[in-house]
């Protein structure tokens, strides 16, 4: 079953259900990626959740592998597609590259004119598709007036949800590495 991607959809929708599943992992198996970093989940037999919030001017990156492992990153705001692609490469290097099947990007507001943002997104997809040609690589759908600045990712459940507003601002993941989770920072060329 491929990764299912959902978008903020009210209390009874699939996105909210994904959020609730992730929130129920708290505090033992929920980790939060903060700006400039990413988490890898290597647990394949228990539900884990990766969260990021407040990525209004940043890029959210999700790398999903077919075995239920994956990564969620919060790349600090930049319009440098090559730098973001190097960040994705770092994330992939921590997983089984052959099992990476989906790479999803979402962004809040990335600076520049609308045409510049379109070019930025196209460049990232081109760089990452070249790096991982068997994976499905795409940007989350956009909705007028919505900026996907929050995400909840459940690797084992193969669920990902994006939000403009957090369903529960009190949901926070732990910050320490434990069995099944590893925390990393993006390469040094990040702004």
pLDDT at 145 over 70: no
Give per-residue pLDDT as tens, 51-98: 988 887 889 999 999 999 999 999 987 778 898 999 999 999 999 999
Distance CA 56, CA 60 (A): 10
d(CA 118, CA 98): 29
Instruction: Give the tokens for residue 26.
Output: 């708290």
- Domain 4-168 coded CATH 3.30.1330.200: yes
Whose tokens are 């990626």? That residue is: 33
- What average pLDDT does range 17-22 have in this prediction? 89
Higher pLDDT, 64 or 9: 64
Locate the domains of the chain by residue range: 4-168
Q: Average the pLDDT over each of 19-23, 146-150, 153-157 and give the range with the smallest value.
A: 146-150
Q: How would residue 113 be classed by pLDDT, with cut points 50, 70 and 90? A: confident
What is the pLDDT, as a whole number, of residue 53?
A: 86
pLDDT value at position 67?
A: 94
Higher pLDDT, 176 or 161: 161
* pLDDT tens, position by position, 175-185: 566 667 888 88
pTM, two decimals, is 0.90
């Amino acid at each position: 079953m491929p990764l299912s991607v959902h978008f903020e959809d009210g209390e009874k929708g699939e996105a909210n259900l994904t959020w609730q599943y992730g929130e129920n992992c708290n505090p033992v198996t929920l980790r939060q990626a903060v700006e400039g970093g990413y988490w890898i989940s290597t647990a394949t037999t228990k539900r884990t959740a990766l969260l990021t919030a407040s990525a209004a001017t940043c890029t959210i990156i999700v790398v999903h592998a077919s075995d239920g492992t994956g990564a969620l990153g919060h790349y600090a705001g930049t319009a440098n597609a090559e730098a973001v692609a190097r960040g994705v490469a770092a994330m992939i290097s921590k997983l089984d590259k052959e099992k990476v099947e989906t790479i999803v990007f979402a962004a809040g507001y990335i600076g520049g004119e609308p045409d510049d943002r379109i070019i930025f997104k196209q460049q990232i997809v081109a760089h990452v598709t070249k790096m991982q040609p068997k994976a499905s690589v795409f940007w989350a759908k956009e909705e007028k007036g919505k900026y996907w600045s929050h995400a909840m990712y459940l690797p084992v459940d193969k669920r990902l949800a994006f939000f403009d507003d957090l369903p529960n601002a009190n949901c926070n993941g732990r910050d320490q590495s434990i069995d099944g989770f590893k925390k990393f920072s993006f390469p040094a060329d990040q702004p």
